[in-house]
Amino acid sequence: KQSMYKLSAIFLGVGSGLFIDEVGLLLTCTSNLKVCDYYSRISFDIFVIVIGMLLLMLYSGPFYRFLKRKILK
54 by DSSP, 3-state: which?
A: helix
pLDDT of residue 73: 67
Of 61, 60, 21, nearest to 43 by C-alpha is: 21
**Residues 30, 33: Cα–Cα separation, whole Å:** 8
With contact defined as beta carbons under 8 Å apart, do 27 and 49 qualify? Answer: no
CB atoms within 10 A of CB 24: 21
Q: What is the pLDDT of residues 16-71, one digit of tens each?
A: 888 877 877 777 777 677 677 777 787 778 778 888 888 888 888 888 788 788 88
**Residues 57, 35: Cα–Cα separation, whole Å:** 35
pTM of the full structure: 0.54
